[in-house]
Amino acid sequence: MSEKLHLTPDDEFPDDLSTLPDQELQVLDSQVQRQLDYEYVAEGEPHPETEFRHHDIDEEFQERDNR
């Protein structure tokens, strides 16, 4: 997993989040959240891809909580 603090819409994103270990998913979530924060401040709204990724990660966390 990348050491970047932000995960821009152009950066690679896993196709299947269920294969990631918990720690990697948490890092990915942090990167996407930082990008969302940046987009709100810099652009006034999130990029659709970043918003989708954030939703996808939230769904994966919910699935793991339900297991």
pLDDT (tens, 9 = 90+) of the chain, 67 residues, equals 446 899 999 999 999 999 999 999 999 999 999 999 999 999 999 999 999 999 999 999 999 999 8
Per DSSP, the three-state class of 3 is coil
Would you say the pTM of this structure is higher than 0.75?
A: yes
pLDDT of amino acid 2: 46
pLDDT of amino acid 4: 84
Closest CA to 64 of 25, 31, 28, 30: 25
